[in-house]
């Protein structure tokens, strides 16, 4: 855990909403870009206050907040609901909606229609989609429809099965070349930024001189223009196995279990609520109410009389 003073990155200034030119400028001037995922209103407020530059409503929400085993089952309606909640908590960071599996692969028309839903219905600024290949065409179509697109190469969880599981990608010359081809193609069709996930740092470093858009890494080493982590991973809201690249910055699950356990114990021991958590009533009003309860007319009533 860092011992640096906790000063939000935007403290003391009225931060301007993040824009695509500003992100490009950050890349050009070597200012690292901080991106995080969020899936609801409270996590959006945290990202806003902490001074994050980009917030991704990741399809990782399928696992972190919906409890699925992979990102595959989450659909458009669920993603839109999560994204709209995040929008309500954000003012400054760029908001990117992650296009879920099955929402863009079918055709350019399907991709554009669902990208538009992220913008119109959830208030996102941009969308993200995974892989190269046919996704390059989809990205081009969405960009042409006027919607900024973020690419995603390397470990692409929506197709993890085809990639041999959740493991580092590009560890042979051939596989690294394939990742580079995908990245260059996504850049060429107008993606404003791209995520490199779980690729060797040396592969990233070798590609960076050919990249002209901000590259955001997750398990791709320190040579990218920025980093992204899943909110629940970095705060340890979830438990169990995490990928090698995750650094825990807090122990929130533990803190939440401690808090709720203390509450349960207080309720059982009648320590909660106490005086400070209860409302008062003027004694004269209370006396009048007690008189009302003692009336004979009330005493003889059956439940059906009410």
Q: Does 59 bind ligand KIV (CB under 6 A)?
A: yes
User: Which of 197, 269, 285, 294 is flagged as catalytic?
Assistant: 197
Under 8 Å CB-to-CB from 43, ≥6 apart: which residues? 86, 89, 231
Question: Measured between alpha carbons, how far is 43 from 53 in angstroms, rounded to an integer?
Answer: 14
Nearer to ligand KIV, 117 or 131 (CB): 131
Question: In the structure encoding, which two tokens stand for residue 52, read together?
Answer: 């994050």
The residues in 85-124 that bind ligand KIV, with binding defined as CB under 6 A, are 98
Q: Does 36 bind ligand KIV (CB under 6 A)?
A: no
Q: Of 10, 37, 92, 103, which lies in the binding site for ligand KIV, with binding defined by CB under 6 A?
A: 37
Question: Residue 48 catalytic?
Answer: no
Which residue's Cβ has the minimum distance to ligand KIV? Answer: 58
Q: Does 58 bind ligand KIV (CB under 6 A)?
A: yes
Query: Segment near ligand KIV (CB under 6 A), from 51-59, 76-84, 171-179, 255-263?
Result: 51-59
In whole angstroms, the minimum distance from the beta carbon of 98 to ligand KIV comes to 5
| Ramachandran region, residue 7 (left: φ > 0; alpha: ψ -120 to 50; beta: rest) | beta
Binding mask 148-177 for ligand KIV (x = CB under 6 A): ----x-------------------------
CB atoms under 10 Å from CB of 282, counted, come to 8
Q: For the chain, how big is the Rg over CA atoms in Å? A: 25
Question: Measured between alpha carbons, how far is 297 from 279 in angstroms, rounded to an integer?
Answer: 29
In whole angstroms, the minimum distance from the beta carbon of 89 to ligand KIV comes to 17
Q: Does 228 bind ligand KIV (CB under 6 A)?
A: yes
In whole angstroms, the minimum distance from the beta carbon of 281 to ligand KIV comes to 51
Question: In the structure encoding, which two tokens stand for residue 223, read together?
Answer: 């040579």
Q: Does 60 bind ligand KIV (CB under 6 A)?
A: yes
Under 8 Å CB-to-CB from 164, ≥6 apart: which residues? none
Best CA proximity match to 204, nearest among 182, 185, 219, 189: 219
In whole angstroms, the minimum distance from the beta carbon of 283 to ligand KIV comes to 57
Phi and psi dihedrals of 272, rounded to 5?
A: -130, 135
Q: Of 230, 234, 235, 237, which lies in the binding site for ligand KIV, with binding defined by CB under 6 A?
A: 230
Coil, helix or strand at residue 37: strand
Coil, helix or strand at residue 191: coil
Residues forming the site for ligand KIV (CB under 6 A): 37, 56, 58-60, 98, 152, 195, 218, 228, 230
* Catalytic center residues: 197
């Amino acid at each position: 855990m860092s011992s640096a003073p906790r000063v939000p990155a935007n403290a003391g200034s009225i931060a301007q909403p993040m824009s695509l030119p500003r992100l490009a400028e950050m890349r050009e001037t070597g200012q690292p870009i901080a991106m995080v995922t969020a899936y609801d209103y409270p996590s959006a407020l945290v990202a806003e206050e902490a001074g994050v530059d980009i917030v991704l409503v990741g399809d990782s929400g399928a696992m972190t907040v919906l409890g699925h085993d992979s990102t595959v089952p989450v659909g458009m309606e669920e993603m839109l609901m999560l994204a709209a909640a995040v929008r309500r908590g954000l003012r400054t960071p760029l908001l990117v909606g992650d296009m879920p599996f099955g929402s863009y692969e079918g055709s350019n028309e399907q991709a554009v229609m669902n990208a538009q839903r992220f913008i119109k219905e959830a208030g996102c600024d941009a969308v993200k989609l995974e892989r190269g290949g046919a996704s390059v065409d989809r990205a081009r179509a969405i960009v042409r429809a006027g919607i900024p697109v973020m690419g995603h190469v390397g470990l692409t969880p929506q197709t993890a099965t085809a990639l041999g599981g959740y493991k580092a990608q590009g560890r042979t010359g051939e596989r690294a070349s394939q990742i580079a081809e995908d990245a260059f193609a996504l850049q060429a069709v107008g993606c404003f930024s791209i995520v490199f996930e779980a690729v060797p740092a040396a592969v990233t470093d070798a590609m960076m001189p050919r990249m002209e858009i901000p590259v955001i890494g997750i398990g791709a080493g320190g040579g990218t223009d920025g980093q992204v982590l899943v909110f629940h991973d970095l705060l340890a809201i979830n438990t169990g196995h995490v990928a090698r690249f995750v650094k825990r910055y807090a122990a929130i699950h533990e803190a939440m279990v401690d808090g709720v356990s203390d509450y349960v114990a207080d309720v059982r021991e009648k320590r909660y609520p106490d005086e400070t958590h209860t409302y008062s009533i003027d004694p004269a009003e209370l006396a009048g109410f007690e008189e009302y309860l003692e009336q004979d007319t009330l005493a003889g009533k059956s439940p059906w009389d009410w």
